[in-house]
Amino acid sequence: MTTPPEHNFQSTFLQEMSWRGQIQQITDPAAMDKWLCEGDAASKKAYAGFDPTADSLTIGNLVTIMALARWQRSSHTPVALMGGATGLIGDPSGKSAERTLNGEDVVRANVAAIEKIFAGGELFARGATAGQTNALRMVNNIDWLGKMGFLEALREIGKYFSVNMMIQKDSVKERLTNRDQGISYTEFSYMLLQAYDFFWLHKNDGVGAQFGGSDQFGNIVVGKDLIDKKSSASAAHVERGGTQAFGLTWPLVTKADGGKFGKTESGAVWISPHRTSPYAYYQFWLNSADADAIRFLKTFTFLSREEITALEASQQANPGAREAQRTLAREATRILHGTAAMENAEAAGKALFSGDASSLMGLDLATLREVFASVPNKLMSKALLGSGGAGEGEGLALLDVLVDPDLKLAASKREARDFLTANAVTVNGKPVTLESRLKPADLLHGCFIAIRRGKKQWAATEWQ
């Protein structure tokens, strides 16, 4: 179960994963390395499972997705397994209490939403781009587990494992020692269903490896054991000298300061845009600590060793420039959400911090609202701006807006006059004067005006 030094690996995939710090355990390192170097690369298939407990995955799941993407970039075939069946049960790994069971409709909807993650961004090559032979495959374990009856499950899976072994697994042991919670037979059986997934994919689709975080190693080994036990009597198994089935895990992602990775003040960081916007996702990476940036570049981007080494040298020479974090934010956002979303997120950040008019004008309304959500905001009546068109009237004196107590831009009209006279105020990134008035023509998307005083003090107004 140990991992040999990086230079011992001959296969591209294991060399890459080792250099990136993405190998914790391999069931048989030398055999897996040899397997990857022999025969047709695209015929080597590996899978990882995704638990549909919500309508998105979190940033922690992205480590698994990146591993499958690196597998494809090594010319092998990745398989993403949706837990349409196991999602009805719940994985006890890392949980101190029993999960709330979701209904079939909820799980089905969650699976459909999660599948969209794999179809977007620049994570995977598809179809002709992937040469057809190693395109990403999507499977759902409801397709085989949903057809299996209880008696068949006991005969085909249960008889191969002892309860003695199962209760020694960390995910079960910890719950058994907690008298207040314990573990139900439902969750106790989860590892057997996951084991059968590996066996079924190995037997019916030639999948030879399963990936996961280090907390999944026990479940992965159970799957390999089931493959070995059910295959040991076959002539093909004896002829090829054993079962070509391997498990590989990586360390769970942590932050250098001991904080929980993937958590912000607003909650978990999700990888679907309806849960965490590309702008918020970009900002999450941009705010990475110096001690984490290079490690995150290795884990969450496809940048080469040479590129990351150069960024590490740049960071050491001039940490204040935060070049590593900026590159991380751009690359991680581009990979997941695509180039257009990345550029929009980057422009949104520039709009807030630089106040550039062109940056503000180019943002869609949803992004504007998000960018300025944390500054003083006020909803105001369009009637104050005049009627618009040829008869739009005089509009609303900017002086009166600056002293609005909800916007916190000036404490008095005298102070507001000083700011305006000193050219310290902009409206939508454009300079204004003491005589300036807000009019309908100033509305972005017909309803939004952003005002900045000085370099950092912003206020946002929305008009209806």
Q: What percentage of the chain exceeds 70 in pLDDT?
A: 88
> Quick one: 130 exposed, middle or buried, by C-beta within 10 A (0-12, 13-18, 19+)?
middle
**Vertex 116 angle, CA 113 and 120, to 5°:** 150
Can you give the pLDDT at residue 157? 83
Q: Are strands 263-264 and 457-463 parallel, antiparallel or unpaired?
A: unpaired
Instruction: Report the predicted TM-score, pTM, of the whole model to 2 decimal places.
Output: 0.83
Q: What is the dihedral sign for C-alpha 436, 442, 447, 450?
A: negative
4's CB contacts (< 8 A; 6+ apart) are: 29, 30
Residues 160 and 157: their CA atoms lie apart, in Å, by 6
- Mean pLDDT of the 126-140 span: 75
Of 442, 23, 420, nearest to 214 by C-alpha is: 23
Choose between 374 and 420: higher pLDDT.
Answer: 420
* pLDDT value at 311 more than 50: yes
CA distance 119 to 129: 13
User: Average pLDDT of 264-279?
Assistant: 89
What would the DSSP string read from start to end of 20-46? TT--SEESSHHHHHHHHHSS-GGG-EE
Segments making up each domain of the chain, as ranges: 6-250, 263-354, 377-463
The yes/no answer on whether domain 263-354 falls in CATH 3.20.10.10 is no
The separation between CA 288 and the C-alpha centre of its own chain, rounded to angstroms, equals 15
pLDDT at 152 over 70: yes
The torsion of the CA quartet 398, 402, 405, 410, rounded to 10 degrees, works out to -160
pLDDT of residue 413: 93
Q: Return d(Cα 332, Cα 250) in angstroms, integer.
A: 19
| Burial (0-12, 13-18, 19+ Cβ within 10 Å), 164 | exposed
Q: Are 44 and 248 in contact (CB under 8 A)?
A: no
Q: Residue 293 contacts by C-beta under 8 Å, 6 or more apart in sequence?
A: 315, 324, 325, 328
d(CA 224, CA 34): 18
Task: Specify the pairing of strand 246-250 against strand 25-26.
Answer: antiparallel
Q: Which of 81, 98, 123, 356 has the alpha carbon at shortest distance from 210?
A: 81
Q: Label residue 178 by pLDDT band (50, 70, 90).
A: low
Domain 6-250 CATH assignment equals 3.50.30.30: no
Confidence of residue 173 (pLDDT cuts 50, 70, 90): confident
pLDDT at 374: 83
Structure token digits, residue 33 = 């390395």
Quote helix, strand, coil % in the chain, to nearest 5: 50, 15, 35
The residue among 6, 42, 72 whose CA lies nearest residue 211 is: 72
The pLDDT, as a whole number, for residue 237 is 46
- Residue 187 pLDDT level (bands cut at 50, 70, 90): confident
Buried b / exposed e over 268-290, threshold 16 CB at 10 Å, is ebbbbbebbbbbbbbbbbbebee
State mean pLDDT over 286-301.
96
Instruction: List pLDDT tens digits, range 45-79.
Output: 999 999 999 999 999 999 999 999 999 999 999 99
- Maximum CA pair distance of the chain? 93
- Contact in structure between 439 and 453 (CB atoms under 8 Å): no
Specify the pLDDT at position 243: 63
The arrangement of secondary structure in 377-463, i.e. its CATH architecture, is: Roll (3.10)
